[in-house]
Amino acid sequence: MIQDFDKYYNYLFEDDLLNEIKQKGIYKSFKEDSIIIEIGDFIKSMPLLIKGAIKILREDENGDELVLYYLEKGDTCAMTLSCCMGETKSKIRAVAENDVELLLVPKENMNAWLSKYTSWQSFILLSYHNRMNELIDAIDTIAFLKMDERLFKYLKDKAMVTHNDVITTTHKKIADDLHTSRVVISRILKKLENDHKIKLNRNSIKVLEL
DNA sequence: ACATTAAGTGATT
DNA sequence: AATCACTTAATGT
């Protein structure tokens, strides 16, 4: 697991920093579908993803969800960055898309490292930059793409982060993620299958065009 | 065999 | 694109 960490982060940070992270970071693992961060949580440490993927989503007052973006190994969560800086609560929920391993860096350290290591500074800034772009992308998708394009993009994203073109899920779960109804998803999926973009099975969808 | 859950479909708004 | 009402198909007990 420490080896995995090196693999994804050694080109980002200098050795001193890598060692300090390994020393101060708290190793944690999450099973698929477990909630890593809940809306309203106070965040006192920031996660560095080593393995797996995390789904970041927003929820409205009725409990309806909407997926914003996915995080992969080598990524960190911009929400925790802003939460660690200020003393605010999380506005998003983070759910393990599959089995996840990560290192938690206490916020005291992440602040100290900002002035101590330039590589850390650029990592934080770059993370912000990436997340910002993903958010803009998410807004574009919601605002400008029709449901069928949104759905296909969702499937492709999902296949991408899990490194598997077969997605195991139900139409209902997809509908929840995209904030629409199951019937609509079923219909569009059927259409996508007719266009030979996907192959449908019970509880699984195979993405053909990646 | 029966109940439950997932998925397909026509009609309506 | 959403909702309803209903059907069909797959799966669990």
Give the pLDDT confidence of A49-70 residue by residue, as tens digits.
998 999 999 887 777 788 988 9
Please say whether the beta carbons of A103 and A5 come within 8 A. Answer: yes
Residues of chain A with CATH 1.10.10.10: 147-207
Chain C positions with any atom < 7 A from a protein CB: 1-5, 10-11
Q: Which CATH architecture describes the domain A147-207?
A: Orthogonal Bundle (1.10)
In this structure, which topology does domain A2-142 adopt according to CATH?
Jelly Rolls (2.60.120)
Instruction: Quickly give A96 CA vs B5 C1' distance in Å.
Output: 24
What's the burial of A154, exposed, middle or buried (CB within 10 Å: 0-12/13-18/19+)?
middle
Strand C contacted by A66 CB (< 7 A): no
pLDDT of residue A1 exceeding 70: no
Per DSSP (E only), the strands in chain A are 26-30, 35-37, 45-51, 54-59, 65-71, 93-96, 100-106, 166-168, 198-201, 204-207
Instruction: Quickly give A149 CA vs C6 C1' distance in Å.
Output: 29
Give the pLDDT confidence of A159-180 residue by residue, as tens digits.
998 889 999 999 999 999 999 9
Tokens of A64: 């309806």
Give the pLDDT confidence of A113-124 residue by residue, as tens digits.
989 999 999 998
A179: left (phi over 0), alpha (psi -120 to 50) or beta: left
R_g over Cα of chain A: 18
Tokens of A201: 């099975």
